[in-house]
Chain A
């Protein structure tokens, strides 16, 4: 494969990657279907932002956010059914079971670990030490600006954590497992080693607890944009959206079997962070995974980072202490 030059890099030399928006297929079907799949993403984003800006306090609660999140997911399942991006990404019963297992683990055990040993515990300690109430000036900004800043700061942190995972071997060990998926569906974001889910969950969200409405609004923006990273739906995403926000197209390039392509599009919500740092590749890929698309079983996903770390450490120690003998001349 020749690949396509993007900046200094050749994308798609090992596995097919479509580069450039003009080469990506459009939604096929009648005018109603094309209308729906062109305007769905902005319409949902605007509706959610309007809700969290104007809803009375009596209904603008965390429990409502959970309800909206579940309803949104069910709606997206329907869209995946009606208008899949690739038939080879169609959800099967087995994939649903394994995906939901990871979702279940992250909603229970990983969340518990985060609460007691992760960012929640650290944030509480830091807040106590620095008296974050002094940041009250943040409260005087418009709600939408507060929410944007919260989600941007969070995503900026995630960008570097994710980029770090692709560049530093110990972190890569935990993240590599997530790259063995060969399809994208809406639950695939949760598929990975729990250690990674714990690390990626480390953020600054909890710092803004004194701004509950802004946090809920930031969460809604993250959901109405970030969810499309892992989804099997063909959209005619508007040009402005794909310039600013991460899309399935971007994230499928990131999951491609092509090594260079996988080292792009690291952000979760704001793809312009990738544009700022020169890691954005506009395009899409259907053939995903690692090692030629080998599937990793749940058992292997759980143990892989540790067994690989053990193997690498062992071989490094052997090389250090048992250098190859040089025959005497």
Chain B
């Protein structure tokens, strides 16, 4: 779904400077463990990796993002990873305060718990929208950084 502005609710786009040149194939090989989990399927076309994750388990490091594309391009300062990820969980969490406000409206005699949960999910959404992009970025950085080069291979700047 391509809805500008509104899709920021559940879509995370970003870029990560790799610090040195690496071919898309090399970069994707280093990220391979993220896609070797149950329910994950992916496809690599030249410099672009497209993936989907169906019901990823709790232990999957990318569990929050069920769909997305990763691109590795050349930059003047070295390689650059561009990513565009979609999260149904962010979308779900965004909708939950409205659901619980609806429940509060339905259960007129005992509406306080529903209001409390609406508040909890509104807070959780804000936390998740900041935390999850930060976490996935650090996962990419850890896997693609110079520390993770195979032994004996020097980075090409």
Contact = CB atoms under 8 A, between A and B. Distances in A.
Contact of A108 (B56, B89, B92, B113): B113
A296 B55 CA distance: 7
B20 to A, nearest CB: 31
A296 B56 CA distance: 9
Nearest to A70: B116
B3 interface: no
B107 A295 contact: no
B64 A94 contact: yes
A300 to B, nearest CB: 8
A93 B128 contact: yes
Contacts of A94: 58, 63-64, 89, 128, 132
A295 B59 CA distance: 10
Interface residues of A, number: 29
B36 interface: no
Interface string B50-67: 000001111100011000
A115 to B, nearest CB: 8
What's the interface size class on B, roughly? 20 to 34
A182 B55 contact: no
Q: Is the interface of B mostly helix, strand, loop or mixed?
A: helix
Contacts, number: 78
B121 A100 contact: yes
B146 interface: no
A108 B114 contact: yes
A322 interface: no
B83 interface: no
A97 interface: yes
B100 A104 contact: yes
A4 interface: no
A167 interface: no
Interface in A261-301: 289, 292-298, 300
A111 to B, nearest CB: 8
Interface string B110-147: 10011001001100100110011000000000000000
B34 interface: no
A169 to B, nearest CB: 24
Interface of A: 88, 92-98, 100-101, 103-104, 107-109, 111-112, 181-183, 289, 292-298, 300
List 4 A-B pairs, minimum CB-CB distance, nearest first.
A104-B117, A295-B55, A107-B113, A295-B57
Interface of B: 38-39, 55-59, 63-64, 89, 92-93, 96, 100, 103, 107, 110, 113-114, 117, 120-121, 124, 127-128, 131-132
